[in-house]
A and B are shown apart, each in its own frame.
Chain A
Amino acid sequence: MALGSAIMVVISRNPVHSVLWLIVTFFAISGHYILMNAQFIGIVNLIVYAGAIMVLFLFVIMLMNLNAETEPQKNKWLKLAGVVAGGCLLLVLVAALKQAEVKGKVALLGTGDIGLIKNLGKALFTDYVVPFEISSVLFLSAMVGAVVIGKK
């Protein structure tokens, strides 16, 4: 279902349909997370991506008022080159993932409470506290940037 709706995102002619299919994709991915015992990430994915970011997407697309006439014509050779390059990447990734599946046992199925927010918080503030703190610099610089760009 995730794959199917992801393909629909790409091939839909109408951008609004694309966004709607993207929402379906996010729901499917959240389902995967929950199946893999990562409940917290699953829910956050729903709230942040399927909820907030998609609304922004829709607004932007509606404001831009896209339709078929304004769509730029693409070069035939460019399309062909894209297909070849994408196909190569697909081939490499499929080869890589085929080997991984042999190992089976993806995560702690059944036993795990690993995805619960309590354990996540513990890991975040003990083992991963340095990257956590440093990412604050990243967000700070992004905020400064937004203000610099947005201010008159």
Chain B
Amino acid sequence: MNAIVISAVLGVVMMFCGVFTNSKTAVRNVAIIGLLGLIIANVLDLGGYHFFDVNVKGMLAFDVFGLLFNTIAFASTWIYFLLSGRDMERVGVNLAEYFALIFFVLCGISIVSAFNSLLMLFLGIEIISIPLYILTGSDKRNLKSNEAALKYFLMGSFSTGIMLMGITLIYGVKGSFDMEVIRTGTTQLTPMIAAGLLLLLFAMSFKVSAVPFHFWTPDAYDGAPTVFTSFMATIVKVAGFIAFIRLFEGCFGEIKAQWQMLAAIITAATLLIGNITAVFQQSVKRMLSYSSIAQAGFMLFALVAMNDMAKEGMIFYAAAYSLATIGIFAILLKMKDYTFEGFNGLAKRQPVLAATNTIFLLSLAGIPATAGFWAKFYMLSAAVNNGNVLWLVIVGVLCAAISVYYYFRVIQAMYFKDGEPQEIETSKGFNGLLIAIAAVVILLGIFPHWLLDQLSNIFFL
């Protein structure tokens, strides 16, 4: 509850900030300090200090898994503010409002990581989506941004409608929104539950951009201002997965055998289409949005496997993927030319940028000694433990191999080609922060057990 209330209040604070001061530095500092407070409040919540004693009537349930995920999401956002806060100023004049909207998204994230009732799921997903539509369209003079926002908004509201329809059908069978009530007694699929389950599956797949519901992703991610793409593609996407897993474990855990195959097919399609299409992209930004579809495929493994290992792996994946992608987008923001050619010869001019970018890309590709390797490893081994979906694991390994190709194109461009300087000057602090993130990525890659041991300690206490 700490996180929900404080993030909503911080959103309001940011709006007032925009009224009282014109200094962009002040606004950004308030946001950074506020977010730090939010992280601390959330960690305290984890430790048993609850600031707000609200009777939630069973609508929300704060478990360790959700709170831990909140911590990772907030920490990634904090790093994102530090790295890319300055670049938000270039988008438009409403800097304080952008921060406010991001805080509202965080409020939505802390709801979807704790919902215990389908009503709260709906509210949480909407609180995440609506600010995102606006952030996508925030570059008002850019036609591409407008188009992306409109497309995202229309398709997003349509999928919300589908989700509502699914919730209604489930309510029609069970007479309750409560996940406990829905789970108990749901041992076989009646047509009505099946229809509700399918509609919910489709709507959630849309929100996490799984194939074949991914068509909005490249356009929305490509059209949105790059700063906000970074936020959408990392933190928000991972939050969608948390909601997805929570919903399907909480409501339909007992009838897993019936939908597991369907989820496995969606996963395989997501992996194949995401990876293969990414190979053909000419723009790094567009390549990254397809790669985010491909990474979504790996995160879907957690949904298919649905065991303790998968949940731990999901947290690990969230951290590894968010850190690396935020880093890459922060570097991309310093580029003037978003094609692969834009990166030519970067290593000679900006060795720090090139080296850290290489580490992030290697992590996304899942090369050993980076966090991404262990994240993929845990996902795949969770699926192996599950036993039913070995063919899916093979598809996953093949796709990881394909992904190496397009990530290495960027590395190749940076190190082995010469080109004109295309980038904006970077400050020392920015470089230092990038090195710190890269260090974390490598540390997690060498000692993955540290984070996972912490996780299992908390889980099995």
**Residues in chain A within 8 A of chain B (CB atoms):** 92-93, 95-100, 127-131, 134-135, 137-138, 140-142, 144-145, 147-149, 151
Given contacts A100-B173, A129-B57, 16 further A-B contacts (CB under 8 A): A92-B191, A92-B194, A96-B195, A99-B190, A131-B119, A135-B123, A137-B11, A138-B130, A141-B11, A141-B100, A142-B130, A147-B97, A148-B101, A148-B134, A149-B134, A151-B94
Provide the residues of chain B in CB contact with A151, threshold 8 Å: 94
Question: Could you tell me if A92 and B198 are in contact, using CB atoms closer than 8 angstroms?
Answer: yes
Contact flags (1/0) for B113-146 with A, using CB distance below 8 Å?
A: 0000101100100110011011001101000000
A-B contact count (CB 8 A): 89
Q: Whole-angstrom distance between the alpha carbons of A137 and B6 in the complex?
A: 12
B324 within 8 Å of A (CB atoms): no
User: A141 near B195 (CB under 8 angstroms)?
Assistant: no
A141 close to B131 (CB less than 8 A): yes
Interface positions of B from 293 to 345, Cβ below 8 Å from A: none
Please list 26 pairs of residues, one from A and one from B, whose beta carbons are closer than 8 Å in the complex, sorted by A's number: A92-B191, A92-B195, A95-B195, A96-B169, A96-B192, A96-B194, A99-B192, A100-B173, A128-B119, A130-B56, A131-B59, A131-B119, A131-B120, A134-B120, A134-B127, A135-B123, A138-B126, A140-B8, A141-B101, A141-B130, A144-B97, A144-B104, A145-B130, A145-B133, A148-B98, A151-B94
A133 to chain B, nearest CB (A): 9
B63 to chain A, nearest CB (A): 17
Q: Hey, which chain A residues are within 8 Å of B424, CB to CB?
A: none
Given contacts A93-B195, A96-B169, A144-B100, contact A134 B131 (CB under 8 A): no
Residues from chain B with Cβ under 8 Å of A98 in the complex: 191
B75-108 interface (Cβ within 8 A of A): 94, 97-98, 100-101, 104, 107-108
A137 touches B134 (CB 8 A): no
Instruction: Tell me which of B131, B173, B194 contacts A145 (CB under 8 A).
Output: B131
- Chain A residues with Cβ below 8 Å from B107 are 137
Whether the pair B127, A141 counts as a contact (CB closer than 8 A) is yes
Determine the residue in chain B with the shortest Cβ distance to A99.
B191
Cβ of B4 and Cβ of A134 under 8 Å apart? yes
Whether B12 is near chain A, meaning CB under 8 Å from some CB there, is yes
Cβ B127 vs Cβ A137 within 8 A: yes
Chain A residues with CB under 8 A of B120: 130-131, 134
Q: Does B60 contact A (CB under 8 A)?
A: yes
A141 to chain B, nearest CB (A): 4
Residue with the greatest number of chain B CB neighbours at <10 A, chosen from A98, A134, A141, A151: A141
| Chain B positions within 8 Å of A97 at CB level | 192
CA distance A93 to B195 in the complex (A): 7
B123 touches A144 (CB 8 A): no
Q: Is the interface of A mostly helix, strand, loop or mixed?
A: helix
B194: chain A residues within 8 A (beta carbon) = 92, 96
Q: Which residues of A contact B117 (CB under 8 A)?
A: 131
Please give, as numbers and ranges, the residues of chain B lying within 8 Å of A99 by CB-CB distance: 190-192
Interface centre among B98, B120, B134 (most CB of A within 10 A): B134
B172 in contact (CB, < 8 A)? yes
Q: For residue B140, which residues in chain A have a CB less than 8 angstroms away from its CB?
A: 149
Q: What string of 1s and 0s marks CB contacts (under 8 Å) between B177-212 and chain A? A: 000000000000011101110100000000000000
Q: Please measure, in the bound complex, the distance between the C-alpha atom of A129 and the C-alpha atom of B60, giving whole angstroms.
A: 12
Whole-angstrom distance between the Cβ of B31 and the nearest chain A Cβ: 15
Bound-complex Cα distance A68 to B390 (A): 54
Known: A130-B60, A148-B134. A96 touches B191 (CB 8 A): yes
Q: Which residue of B lies closest to A95 (CB)?
A: B191
Chain A's nearest CB lies how many Å from the CB of B442? Answer: 37
Question: Is B111 an interface residue when CB atoms closer than 8 A count as contact?
Answer: yes
Q: Cβ of A140: which chain B residues have Cβ within 8 Å of it?
A: 8, 11-12, 104
| B108 / chain A contacts, CB cutoff of 8 Å | 137
Q: Are A145 and B134 in contact (CB under 8 A)?
A: yes
Considering the chains assembled together, what is the distance between the CA atoms of A97 and B195 in angstroms?
A: 10
- Nearest-Cβ distance from residue A24 to partner chain B, whole angstroms: 21
Is B461 engaged at the interface, CB distance under 8 Å to the other chain?
Answer: no
Residues of B within 8 A of A141 (CB): 11, 100-101, 104, 127, 130-131, 134
Nearest residue in A to B131 (C-beta to C-beta)? A141
Please, which residues of chain B bring their CB within 8 A of the CB of A95?
191, 195
B15 at the interface (CB under 8 A from A): yes
Rounded to whole Å, the gap between the CB of B271 and the closest CB of chain A is 24
Is the CB–CB distance between A148 and B94 below 8 Å?
Answer: yes
Give which listed residue, B101, B191, B192, contacts A144 with CB less than 8 A.
Answer: B101
Q: How far is the CA of A95 from the CA of B127 in the complex (A)?
A: 33
Going nearest first, the 8 A-B pairs with the smallest beta carbon separation are A145-B134, A96-B195, A141-B104, A96-B192, A96-B191, A95-B191, A137-B8, A148-B97
Give bound CA distance, A84 to B195, whole Å: 17
CB within 8 Å for A137 and B104 given contacts A95-B195, A130-B57: yes
Taken residue by residue from 49 to 60, chain B's Cβ proximity to chain A (1 for < 8 Å, 0 otherwise) reads as 000001011011
Instruction: Count chain B CB atoms within 10 A of each CB in A92, A98, A131 and give the residue with the most.
Output: A131
Expressed in whole angstroms, the Cα–Cα distance for A151 and B130 within the complex equals 18
- Chain B positions within 8 Å of A149 at CB level: 134, 137-138, 140
In the bound complex, what is the Cα–Cα distance between A37 and B120 (angstroms)? 26
Distance between B121 CB and nearest chain A CB, rounded to angstroms: 10
Bound Cα distance from A72 to B100, whole angstroms: 39
Shortest CB-to-CB span from B418 to chain A, Å, is 42
Which residue of A has the minimal Cβ distance to B9? Answer: A137
Please determine whether A144 and B15 come into contact, CB atoms closer than 8 angstroms.
yes
Chain B 137-158 near chain A by CB (<8 Å), digits 1 or 0: 1101000000000000000000
A151 to B97, CA, bound (A): 12
Assembled-state Cα–Cα distance A48/B173 (Å) = 29
